[in-house]
């Protein structure tokens, strides 16, 4: 029996809903032949946006969407993506398979997608191959409400009113695909670009600086020291990669050892965030600057027979547990982590939706996001779960359990728990301090470790009611099956 303690007296930070954000790049079939099929497609769409995808994303309560990249952002020239589509300049997407990008999805289309989903837009500007003027004019085009060349152009393109962007990143991975810069150089570039990204009217830009790659603490140190006062957020990119870049392993064909390796690597997110937090705390003790984990998730080898530049991978129960663990970690760090964006939205990496022509499936990761939506804007509660180390070999040991808890505005407590063991169930005795649950409801995503949804068999893996939770004198007790992610709602 493992003890779980939830302390309703220990109200901590607000869990920003944007921790449940997503990332969409011009990469493979994420935008084109993914969420955007074009107005003339036989697939049902509204202004080119696939209706079934839009509905699924709003049902999941997607709060914020990052675009247009990723590496693509630092070779994207926004003016090529506005105006009549037949006149838009084509380009080569050199990062992702050298395909021709026709720029038919640009700024106006991105805002239309966000409008339909009901989410906040987050744009990533180009530092690597762009210019200060280009970025400054994009912000003017998006946000200015007076007379200017940019606002005249916007009106000509059918949008007289400002779009009103708030979240704006100044470059992506500028230590790598965004220009191979040193942190000292980028910090100065960030300050220069940020100066010319103006605030218009009431709209105050939330400026996000390119942050570290995983555990590159020196990058955070230099950025906070040299440019901390100029930014609202610092991004962090950290993927779960099992072996190395040349051999990331199959998304669906793996054994128990690989399962535990994936979990161990995923749990490293906690240490990495803690390491960056310590540095940020020294320069910014009042936590004005947020940590924005705007790329995370499982990165496996592409599905056999698919374009290696398109990063298309399937999604199993292993992905569901990885999502549940990461989201629990972000909740627990919500004092500093104010946004996170899983990579990527549709058909790329750890996607919540996969498509094949007109067919669409929701992945196990989708169901975890939908279940965890209960934490959005709730208040984190102090919680603790008794853990053991498990694995098949001495060197591949992982924790067996992961949890987080929050209280919502109605006083209901939501607790999300992952059983990381792929073979054993776990009996949990949960003690709730400061609240006597009158009733409890549960939901679960579970299956065999490599179960996944296919276009032929449909949505076999999904969230289902979780029965068998018993009210006890001081809380609840329940048994978690192996490979499971559970949400319990304790009602006062
Ligand atoms: O998400 C795929 C790529 O991973 C992004 O384009 C880049 O920022 C990161 O390296």
Q: How far is CA 331 from CA 137, 201, 386, 387, in A?
A: 36, 33, 18, 18
Is residue 256 annotated as a catalytic residue, yes or no?
A: no
Task: Tell which atom from ligand 1 comes closest to the C-alpha of 69.
Answer: 6
Structure confidence at residue 395 (pLDDT) = 72
Contact 482, 421 (CB under 8 A): yes
Structure confidence at residue 393 (pLDDT) = 73
Task: Tell which atom from ligand 1 comes closest to the C-alpha of 239.
Answer: 4
Structure confidence at residue 169 (pLDDT) = 98
Contact 45, 39 (CB under 8 A): yes
Q: Which of 91, 42, 40 is nearest to 68 (CA)?
A: 91
C-alpha radius of gyration, the chain, whole number: 22
Structure tokens at 275: 């390491």
Q: Which of 56, 46, 3 is nearest to 365 (CA)?
A: 56
Q: Which residues pair with 471 in a beta bridge?
A: 476
Distance in angstroms (rounded) separating the CA atoms of residues 102 and 81? 8
In which residue ranges of the chain is CATH 2.60.40.1180 found?
Answer: 2-8+381-491
Distance in angstroms (rounded) separating the CA atoms of residues 308 and 265? 23
Cα 192 to chain center, whole Å? Answer: 28
Distance in angstroms (rounded) separating the CA atoms of residues 68 and 122? 9
Q: For residue 248, report the distance from its CA to the centre of ligand 1, in Å.
A: 15
Nearest CA to ligand 1 atom 7: 70
Q: For residue 184, report the distance from its CA to the centre of ligand 1, in Å.
A: 22
Structure tokens at 403: 């949890």
Is residue 403 annotated as a catalytic residue, yes or no?
A: no
Contact 5, 75 (CB under 8 A): no
Q: For residue 305, report the distance from its CA to the centre of ligand 1, in Å.
A: 21
Q: How far is CA 62 from CA 36, 39, 328, 376, 471, in A?
A: 17, 23, 17, 10, 32
Residue-by-residue pLDDT tens, the chain, 492 positions? 999 999 999 999 999 999 999 999 999 999 999 999 999 999 999 999 999 999 999 999 999 999 999 999 999 999 999 999 999 999 999 999 999 999 999 999 999 999 999 999 999 999 999 999 999 999 999 999 999 999 999 999 999 999 999 999 999 999 999 999 999 999 999 999 999 999 999 999 999 999 999 999 999 999 999 999 999 999 999 999 998 888 999 999 999 999 999 999 999 999 999 999 999 999 999 999 999 999 999 999 999 999 999 999 999 999 999 999 999 999 999 999 999 999 999 999 999 999 999 999 999 999 999 999 999 999 999 999 999 999 987 778 899 999 999 999 999 999 999 999 999 999 999 999 999 999 999 999 999 999 999 999 888 899 999 998 999 999 999 999 999 999 999 998
Per-residue pLDDT tens digits for 368-378: 999 999 999 99
Task: Name the active-site residue from 120, 295, 403, 443.
Answer: 295
Distance in angstroms (rounded) separating the CA atoms of residues 397 and 234? 31
Structure confidence at residue 394 (pLDDT) = 73
Helix (H) or strand (E) holding 475: strand 475-480
Nearest CA to ligand 1 atom 5: 70
Give the start-end residues of each E strand in 242-378.
290-298, 337-343, 353-356, 359-362
Pocket of ligand 1 (CB under 6 A): 25, 69-71, 172-173, 295, 343-344, 349
Contact 481, 421 (CB under 8 A): no
Question: CATH homologous superfamily of domain 2-8+381-491?
Answer: Golgi alpha-mannosidase II (2.60.40.1180)
Please report how many Cα atoms fall inside a 13 Å half-sphere around the Cα of residue 118, on the Cβ side. 10
Distance in angstroms (rounded) separating the CA atoms of residues 165 and 395? 47
Distance in angstroms (rounded) separating the CA atoms of residues 49 and 46? 5
Task: Name the active-site residue from 25, 120, 140, 173.
Answer: 173
Contact 413, 4 (CB under 8 A): no
Sign, CA torsion 275/277/283/289: positive
If one residue of 26, 76, 126, 295 were mutated to test the ligand 1 pocket, choosing by the most ligand atoms within 8 A of its CB, it would be 295
Question: CATH homologous superfamily of domain 15-376?
Answer: Glycosidases (3.20.20.80)
Q: For residue 221, report the distance from its CA to the centre of ligand 1, in Å.
A: 22
Residue 409: asked if its preceding bond is cis (omega within 30°), the reply is: no
Give the sheet arrangement for strand 464-465, strand by strand: 464-465, 439-446, 484-491, 413-419, 401-407, 379-385, 2-14, 426-433, 475-480, 470-472
Q: For residue 403, report the distance from its CA to the centre of ligand 1, in Å.
A: 28
In which residue ranges of the chain is CATH 3.20.20.80 found?
Answer: 15-376
Nearest CA to ligand 1 atom 2: 70
Question: Tokens 């059918």 appear where?
Answer: 158
């Amino acid at each position: 029996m493992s003890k779980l303690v939830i302390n309703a007296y220990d109200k901590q930070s607000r869990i920003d809903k944007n921790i449940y954000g997503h990332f969409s790049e011009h990469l493979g079939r994420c935008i084109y032949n993914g969420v955007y099929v074009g107005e003339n497609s036989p697939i049902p769409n509204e202004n080119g946006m696939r209706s079934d995808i839009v509905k699924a994303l709003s049902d999941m309560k997607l709060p914020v969407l990052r675009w247009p990249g990723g590496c693509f952002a630092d070779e994207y020239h926004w003016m090529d993506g506005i105006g009549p589509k037949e006149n838009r300049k084509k380009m080569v997407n050199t990062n992702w398979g050298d395909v021709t990008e026709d720029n038919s999805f640009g700024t106006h289309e991105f805002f239309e997608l966000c409008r339909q989903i009901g989410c906040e837009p987050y744009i990533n500007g180009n530092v690597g191959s762009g210019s200060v003027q280009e970025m400054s004019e994009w912000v003017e085009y998006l946000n200015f409400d007076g007379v200017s060349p940019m606002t005249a152009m916007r009106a000509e393109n059918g949008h007289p009113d400002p779009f009103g962007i708030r979240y704006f990143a100044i470059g992506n991975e500028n230590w790598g695909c965004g220009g191979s810069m040193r942190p000292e150089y980028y910090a100065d570039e960030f300050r220069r670009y940020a100066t010319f990204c103006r605030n218009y009217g009431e709209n105050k830009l939330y400026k996000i600086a390119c942050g570290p790659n995983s555990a590159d603490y020196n990058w955070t140190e230099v950025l906070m020291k040299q440019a901390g006062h100029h930014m609202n957020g610092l991004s962090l990119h950290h993927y779960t990669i099992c072996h190395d870049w040349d051999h990331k392993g199959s998304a669906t064909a793996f054994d128990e050892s690989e399962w535990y390796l994936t979990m161990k690597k995923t749990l490293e997110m906690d240490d990495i965030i803690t390491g960056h937090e310590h540095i940020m705390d020294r320069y910014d003790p009042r936590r004005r600057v947020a940590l924005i984990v705007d790329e995370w998730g499982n990165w496996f080898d592409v599905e056999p027979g698919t374009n290696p530049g398109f990063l298309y991978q399937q999604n199993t129960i292993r992905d569901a547990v990885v999502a549940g663990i990461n989201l629990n970690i972000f909740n627990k760090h919500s004092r500093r982590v104010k946004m996170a964006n899983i990579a990527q939205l549709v058909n790329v990496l750890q996607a919540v939706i996969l498509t094949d022509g007109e067919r669409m499936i929701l992945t196990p990761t989708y169901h975890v996001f939908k279940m965890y939506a209960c934490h959005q804007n709730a208040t984190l509660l102090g919680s603790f779960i008794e853990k053991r180390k498990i694995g098949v070999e001495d060197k591949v040991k992982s924790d067996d359990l992961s949890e987080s808890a929050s209280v919502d505005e109605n006083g209901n407590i939501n607790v999300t728990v992952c059983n990381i063991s792929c073979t054993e169930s776990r009996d949990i005795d949960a003690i709730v301090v400061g609240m006597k649950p009158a009733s409890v409801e549960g939901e679960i995503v579970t299956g065999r470790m490599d179960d996944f949804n296919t276009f032929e068999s449909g949505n076999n893996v999904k969230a289902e009611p979780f029965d068998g939770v018993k009210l006890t004198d001081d809380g609840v007790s329940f048994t978690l099956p192996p490979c499971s992610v559970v949400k319990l709602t304790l009602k006062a």
